[in-house]
Amino acid sequence: MNNSEINSVFAHMPDFGFIAIGGSEAIDFLQSIITANVETLADGAMRQGALLTPQGRILTDFMIYRIAANEFILQCEADRSDDLYTRLRRYRLRRPVTIEKRNDLVCHIWWHLDMVPASMPNLFADPRDSALGYRYLGADANTLLGTHGAKPGNIDDWHAIRIAKAIPQGALDLTPERALMLEAGLDHLNAVDFEKGCYIGQEVTARTHYRGLVKRRLAPFVIDAIPQPSADIVLDESLIGTCKSVAPTSGDGAIALALVKLSDLHAIRKSVNNLSLTIDGHAAQLALPDWMLPLPALAKTDS
């Protein structure tokens, strides 16, 4: 057993569905409709992506696993998988592409480790941040990961890491038909490729990127209580947003993602202790990860 594995933990990621995409034109098919570049995705690797409306709003976000040269698995929230499956079949037209639901797949997260055994099948490194660990697609995780010293953990602990890194996941963070890729920071996570050519919603997304028109950002906040999703975020008696994903942290606190105007984020950072920031009536602090700094400058209309 490697010493780096001794304190590692794993947890089942519940409430997710899987859709398999295959066939001789699977790459061209996915390239033409989703935001991520699957052509540059190596076999045995994964990447975040999304399907957008023609207006550039997120319909569904997902993780893309490249199983083989022309075989992919899309993992999305279970209650969004039927809609995603229907839309994929609609866009397929007459292409030689297979689209199948995979109800047999199970996903486990394995984190708090520095290295993994070589040649472990069905194990995918999360490229968005090394702290997010690995994903294992298979029902035998307890046996397999247990042999490498991994202990069962709580998926909420992993979500706390994800939120602290300002990484969105699912409809709670990315409201269907409202959320924008760049407001969510998905361009920094390689979930959208501005060079690969056209896909659904590409024109609006590219224009927003090149003109620097992002006015809001998803950002993490630390709270000394555990609020519910949709709890109010108040800055000096003004409502500036509501909580999205929330995960408990050590003690009685929590960390939450929220979509906030860029101008309010600048105000919080400049104020230090001069402004009152609360969530659900409890003291809170902005906790931006390093990758979000420095914050983009305000557009003239936001100053």
**E strand spans, the chain:** 9-12, 16-22, 46-52, 58-68, 71-77, 98-101, 107-111, 123-125, 134-137, 151-152, 216-223, 232-235, 238-248, 254-261, 277-279, 282-286
Amino acid (1-letter code) at residue 213 = L
pLDDT band at 273 (very low <50, low <70, confident <90, very high): low
**Whole-prediction pTM:** 0.94
> Which residue has 């407001």 as its token pair?
183
Percent of the chain with pLDDT over 90: 83
**Whole-number Å distance between alpha carbons of 92 and 101:** 15
Q: 150-206 pLDDT, tens per residue? A: 999 999 999 999 999 999 999 999 999 999 999 999 999 999 999 999 999 999 999
Q: For residue 219, what pLDDT is reported?
A: 98
Is 280 in contact with 228 (CB distance < 8 Å)? yes
CB 201 within 8 A of CB 56: yes
